[in-house]
Structure 1
Amino acid sequence: MALLHIIYSSSTGNTEYVVDTLIAALHESSSKLIVEKQRAEEAQAEDLLKGDVLLLASGTWNTGGSEGQLHPRVYALLTDRAKDCDLRQKPCAIIALGDKRYFYTARAMEHLVQFVQQHNGRSTESLVIVNEPYGQEEKVQKWAQKLLTKIPALAS
């Protein structure tokens, strides 16, 4: 059985809603997949190495007063506790949320991809949700299918 480990943070509930929608879609499609989710504020560097595949999920924030940044708790994990983490070529999927009212709509994606690349991970699939996730469940469900087919460890 394959293990997908999800690390995310959510203040408004939007990122958690997307993660929960994804988990439901994955469970519906694969009985051989175990999914764990963990809040970024509870995670340590070693948690990024759990499972066969890592999924990082974050909304786009104005952390530090600058628009287009990671959620503050994801930022703290990746730039402090996990700053020296070697992902050891682990397949990593990414979910980023954003709001079209801002210039850097879903720039959290850029920061997450950069972290994966700079820490020896393998970027696989990514999903961007712009604006409220409610009503975008089908997009998440379709991405779940794509994730299962693109990452061999999850398809088995």
Structure 2
Amino acid sequence: MLPSLGAGLDFFNAANSNTQKEQVEKLLEDLTPPPSCIVSDMCLHYTATIATRFNIPSISFLGQSCFSLFCMYSLGKSRLLSGITSNTEYFVLPGLPDKVEMTKAQLPAQKTDAEWRKFYARTGAAEGVSYGVVMNSFEELEADYASAYKKARKGRVWCIGPVSLSNFEIGSQIKP
């Protein structure tokens, strides 16, 4: 419902506001019994701080594929991009089950913007302390990449997809 993709960072920053964090903390303080885990969208990085504070495991929900996340994981781990100066030079993504070539220009554009880099750094830090991830994918669709991403995440990846925003029952739409 955003007017453009350019408003995405503003949306994510608003969703991670101190007001949101304080409301969730208040909710958890009052819950009896306390929750056994927090499952949260990966873009809500403040939930990792809350989970740590309350000593509750956090599990991230990721709407991306195992393929795309393993590609980003492999790029980050290899630091290959630091040696590539051209936006149009093709390189092979390291450590993938298949040979995949791309250029820096084909990477998500927001990765180069300083504000997006800050957001991704906070999200990455939250992912680093999460117990695991629930994926909007299914292993039969991308078996090699699900296996590789599970190995990278020490087995703590659960593919439960596809999850959609709407389901149909006897021809009528059920509102989420």
Q: What TM-score results when the alignment is normalised by the length of structure 2?
A: 0.30
Q: What TM-score results when the alignment is normalised by the length of structure 1?
A: 0.32
Which is greater in Rg? 2
Say which structure, 1 or 2, has more relative contact order (CA 8 Å, 6+ apart): 1
Q: Which has the higher strand share?
A: 1
